[in-house]
Structure 1
Amino acid sequence: MKPLYIFFLVCLSMQSFGQQTPFEKSQKQATATYPEVIAYYKALAAAHPQAKLITYGLTDFGEPLHLLVLSKDKTFDPALIRKQDKRVLLINNGIHPGEPEGIDASMMLARDLLKGNKLPANAVICIIPLYNIDGSHNRTSTSRANQNGPLAYGFRGNSRNLDLNRDFIKTDSKNSASFQQIFNTWSPEVFVDTHTSNGSDYQYTMTLIPTQKDKLNQVLSTYLTGQMVPSLYKEMAAKGYELIPYINSVEETPDAGITGFLEPARFSTGYAALHNSIGFMPETHMLKAFDKRVDATYKLLQTYIEVVSRDAKQIGLNKQKADAQVAAQTTFPLEWKLKKDVYDSIKFKGYTAKQKASAVSGKDRLYYDRSAPYEKYIKQWNNFEPSVSVQKPVAYVIPKAWSRVVELLKLNGVKVQQLSADSKLDLEMYYIKDYKTAPAPYEGHYIHSAVQVIPVKQSMQFYKGDYLVYVNQPQNRYIVETLEPQGTDSFFNWNFFDSILGQKEHYSAYVFEDTAAQLLKDDPGLKKLLEQEKAKNPDLAKSAAAQLQFVYKNSAYYEKTHLRYPVGRLLEPLKVSNN
């Protein structure tokens, strides 16, 4: 069916049925398709001047990424909205199209806000109708094997089989680049990414993952934990849906306790935290009826709007303070670990976990007995501390050859400068001492981890057009966490710099034997170093090839670029020629 024809049908339907969504017209059993979603929003925007549907770049599927903006005073310029001191709430739906509650809830919520003249005066609501357009077209009723409805839904992977909720740093998809354009154009103070859970069974319809409090800027974290989250819990309970933290169980069932979710920057909410935006990932429970899941999502999104409007002034001031603090921050955590000796207790409403014989294998299997509900306190471990930190440099220097890195920095609002003349700079350079690489691909990458570096001060030649990135910006967390190799989601760990890990030149042993002998004769220091290493390392002492390699690696013949991370760290302010 042609999109224009669907648009015409939806317009007629909206007139005849009071702007009913496909979800409502299906007796709350079906989720809208992508053509239905976009046609619905086009008609809604055409009928209401307080709504505007905007496109931002393409997706891997070839369709543009849409953004619906709801503005009470019809202001749709993000720069002017910031001048008016209004808050921006960004809602993202369908990053996993098999988890579609947010898609349908947002359609109804946008309609109801517009028809009821209920838009807040001090906040603008931005809705990405359906992010993973590709996956939404791969529509079945079976890919989410554990999920209770809807009748049919999309697939987790996009058309390149990427999980888009792992793509916010590496940006392999066009979807991610277009999303980042939206995010950095509108600079939302609060971000919500709607999902559906997997895992254990319990009584709650809605679980909640806020940005991990210890990773968030302290000003934002204090507000999040002290005011915002308690308000969400209180208001949702009043609306008929008690909230519980996302059930990240320590063991197979929640009875032994749960841990907080530590989202790295590859996830949407981890990415938002790099920009001092408070992020949320609401997860409805997969086994609850689809209509209840949509209703819970609708009411939660409604509650976000109420809280953001109520606290608009404070949220804005908090964001300003956080941006200023991050711009001046000197120490940045790169890795985190759970504090296992610190926990609290939370009231939990679950179902009793039991065992019975499997009809498949005949062996014992887990099941939850819904006829045996319980309410009790369980442990929650939700405190994290830095395990690796780094002192920021004055600036990073990036050779222009690494253009993809610079493109992503710019996409994220990072200000860069270029050298206007060839310049020799005294820098700290990293040599990669050790790292581990995943044995199988993860989201198209053999991702690195456990990186160890050796910092070495060197005088390096840079050239006109190479980039200077000063670390005095509100985007400092994005800058540091992507450019420091030890960062969990650094560009290095995502294989952007793998070419430096391969040696380009070597030697023919029978020729270099004579060269090495002359080197040892001419350089007593090198000879002493070799003898010291042989005394410490019996394997080296036994191997002629290893000794020859040792001499080579400690001579001028060994290439200085091997294992040298190409991004330099400027530790002292310098007057260099740049524009």
Structure 2
Amino acid sequence: MKRLFLFLLLFISISTFAQQTPYELSNKLATTTYEEAIKFYEGLAKKYPQQAKLLTYGLTDFGKPLHLLVLSKNKIFDPVALRKSDKRIFLINNGIHPGEPEGIDASMMFARDLLKNNKLSDDVIICIIPIYNIDGSHNRSGTSRANQNGPVAYGFRGNSKNYDLNRDFIKTDSKNSQAFQQIFNTWQPEIFVDTHTSNGADYQYTMTLIPTQKDKLNPILSRYLTNTLVPDLYSKMKTKGFELIPYVNSINETPDAGITGYIESPRYSTGYAALHNSIGFMPETHMLKSFDKRVESTYKLLNTYTEVIVRDAKLIGQNKRKADEYTASQKDFTLDWKLNRTVYDSIEFKGYAAKYKSSGVSGTDRLYYDRNEPYTKKIKYWDKFEPSLIVTKPIAYIIPKAWDKVIALLKLNNVKMQQLANDAKLDLDMYYIGEMKTGTRPYEGHYLHSGVNLNTVKQKVQYYAGDYVVYVNQSNNRYIVETLEPQAIDSFFNWNFFDSILGQKEGYSSYVFEDTATELLKKNPELKQKLEEEKQKNPDLAKSGRTQLDFVYKNSDYYEKTYMRYPIGRLQQDTKLNLK
């Protein structure tokens, strides 16, 4: 009998031990490796096959597939069937920056405890990406995050191509991004969370929060976010011992002078989610707090999200449907935003006194925060963003089939597309690229364009059978417009997808074209008058024979019409097209 008792005790101990995460087994000092994480989730799926399923999507740059753990109480793991049965989808992404690993470990305990304690809801499906940047998670050290307090070792920010994956959601240079977008657009989450760790000032809070910026989010979703979701997260987390504060984006060197909201463009995960009317969050734990507290706060935040989503499941679903309907009929779209510095709130902030002392390195004054002098006081919070660039959508965009990467990304994002059945000359508005700025150093593998000025010209343009027609009457209108309008901050154009149009392919020899230009001026009095008027306005032109010759060339049929012309046309009239 005693042997049986000891055997049962040993069995229970082993079983309990097996359910613990590597983080817990390390006495909360180490973060889980990729192999350990996948093995753990495989174990959960095997132990709870009716409620947990581990799926794979595509391949990453590291050659491994992207995993997705799906928790479904009703034993259904088909996203189409789940949407038809009006279930909410809550997607959690971890390890986009593997040196910020709290979410990796918190999500493992979160999933285990939901299953072990039978806490899954009938109304909410929870989807967890264990580690997104698989590449970077293998590049482990304890030094790459120089300002961070633990864990003992962790991954690296860049992936195996050295891309920061939280800048890759539009340009999609990585296979990781392709696999993520497949997951996102297959499951279509209403709420999305991407876990992070902060840098910056020191203060008393363990957890800061970046929600999708309220002014850029769809108004229906913004009202729920601002009036219900964020206040409830704040109040519930306070009762759990972890007060929240907006991400500390200081207006000066320290937070004392105030902080500003964060506007996340579509290159970032939550900015990308907003294009699809998904409410996004970027929780950022404080780098200097102990690793166990950072994991605990993330664990409690994930549970708090779940509590609110379960409670408001019907409302969240209704809001998403209304937002999609609104977006499908929306006419004007904001392409860029600016902070209104005249409008601010006063918020309570718990910080530490910022002081200066002599540097042990240089002997000059250096900043430090004195944790022996905590304070609570009101600071200014600027969080009102206003449109700085607005465009009115066309009826449709016409895309030549040659631009295959653009077409592939539109398809990946569930954009409905049709193709011309025959060759056709179409009356369109065409953009010509004018003045713009281009970065002098590469940013994430690109020389980014910005400040793009456009000249719109009505033209009859030849398109061909198989070219694509994208009607802007879809719930994905924001993704369509913000990627295809070249002046948008994260447009495909600004990410260099169309740089080949910026090079002129034909020219002329002056000694030959002189005779041709002379004939053109004789036969075309309007062109001659235009030249004379330009000479009156521009003395430098009047002094230069070469410049006058170039003016005639550029205003003749000899000048190539496609130079600097953006190849995607804007259909402005409701024209009947012959489509496949």
The equivalent of 1:6 in structure 2 is none
The equivalent of 1:213 in structure 2 is 214
Given the alignment of the two structures, is residue 71 of structure 1 paired with residue 43 of structure 2, yes or no?
A: no
The equivalent of 2:19 in structure 1 is 19
The equivalent of 1:173 in structure 2 is 174
Greater mean alpha carbon deviation, residues 512-521 or residues 94-103: 512-521
Contact 1:123 1:308 in 2 (8 A): yes
TM-superposed CA distance for 1:13, in Å, is 9.6
TM-superposed CA distance for 1:512, in Å, is 1.3
The equivalent of 2:379 in structure 1 is 378
1:371 counterpart SS class: strand
Distance in 1 separating the partners of 2:29 and 2:93: 22
The equivalent of 2:36 in structure 1 is 36
The equivalent of 1:513 in structure 2 is 514
Measured against aligned partners, the alpha-carbon deviations of 1:261-296 in whole angstroms (never above 9, x if no partner) come to 000000000000000000000000000000000000
Distance in 2 separating the partners of 1:506 and 1:434: 21
Measured against aligned partners, the alpha-carbon deviations of 1:28-52 in whole angstroms (never above 9, x if no partner) come to 0000000000000001110012100
TM-superposed CA distance for 1:520, in Å, is 1.6
Contact 1:13 1:19 in 2 (8 A): no
Report the AA paired with residue 100 of structure 1: P
The equivalent of 2:409 in structure 1 is 408
The equivalent of 2:266 in structure 1 is 265
Which structure 2 residue ranges, 5 or more long, are not aligned?
Answer: 1-10
The equivalent of 2:398 in structure 1 is 397
The equivalent of 1:294 in structure 2 is 295
The equivalent of 2:59 in structure 1 is 58
1:15 counterpart SS class: helix
2:379 counterpart SS class: strand
Q: Across the two proteins, how many residue pairs are aligned to each other?
A: 569
The equivalent of 1:564 in structure 2 is 565
TM-score by length of 1: 0.97
Distance in 1 separating the partners of 2:496 and 2:172: 12
Given the alignment of the two structures, is residue 323 of structure 1 paired with residue 301 of structure 2, yes or no?
A: no
Change (3 A) 1:548 1:400: same
Change (3 A) 1:496 1:427: same
The equivalent of 1:98 in structure 2 is 99
Distance in 2 separating the partners of 1:232 and 1:48: 29
TM-superposed CA distance for 1:178, in Å, is 0.3
Measured against aligned partners, the alpha-carbon deviations of 1:413-467 in whole angstroms (never above 9, x if no partner) come to 0000001111111111111112110110000000100011111111111111000
Given the alignment of the two structures, is residue 494 of structure 1 paired with residue 500 of structure 2, yes or no?
A: no
Report the AA paired with residue 46 of structure 2: A
Greater mean alpha carbon deviation, residues 426-435 or residues 287-296: 426-435
Distance in 1 separating the partners of 2:503 and 2:339: 35
Change (3 A) 1:398 1:14: farther
Distance in 2 separating the partners of 1:248 and 1:160: 29
Distance in 2 separating the partners of 1:529 and 1:463: 35
2:434 counterpart SS class: strand
Contact 1:14 1:20 in 2 (8 A): no
Report the AA paired with residue 417 of structure 1: Q
TM-superposed CA distance for 1:342, in Å, is 0.8
The equivalent of 1:4 in structure 2 is none
TM-superposed CA distance for 1:529, in Å, is 1.2
Distance in 2 separating the partners of 1:538 and 1:190: 61
Greater mean alpha carbon deviation, residues 232-241 or residues 567-576: 567-576
The equivalent of 2:552 in structure 1 is 551
TM-superposed CA distance for 1:544, in Å, is 2.1
Which structure 1 residue ranges, 5 or more long, are not aligned?
Answer: 1-10
Contact 1:13 1:20 in 2 (8 A): no
TM-superposed CA distance for 1:14, in Å, is 6.9
Distance in 2 separating the partners of 1:448 and 1:284: 33
The equivalent of 1:5 in structure 2 is none
1:262 counterpart SS class: coil
Report the AA paired with residue 467 of structure 2: D
Distance in 2 separating the partners of 1:62 and 1:164: 16
Greater mean alpha carbon deviation, residues 166-175 or residues 538-547: 538-547
The equivalent of 2:205 in structure 1 is 204
Superposition map of 1:121-520 within 5 A: 121-520=122-521
Report the AA paired with residue 201 of structure 1: D
Measured against aligned partners, the alpha-carbon deviations of 1:218-259 in whole angstroms (never above 9, x if no partner) come to 000000000000000000000000000000011100111111
Contact 1:109 1:298 in 2 (8 A): yes
Contact 1:102 1:298 in 2 (8 A): yes
Distance in 2 separating the partners of 1:576 and 1:72: 47
Identity across aligned pairs (percent)? Answer: 71
Distance in 1 separating the partners of 2:114 and 2:127: 13
Measured against aligned partners, the alpha-carbon deviations of 1:59-100 in whole angstroms (never above 9, x if no partner) come to 000000000000111110101111111100000000000000
Measured against aligned partners, the alpha-carbon deviations of 1:465-524 in whole angstroms (never above 9, x if no partner) come to 000000000000000000000111000000001100100001111211221122122211
The equivalent of 2:47 in structure 1 is 47
The equivalent of 2:535 in structure 1 is 534
Distance in 1 separating the partners of 2:91 and 2:13: 28
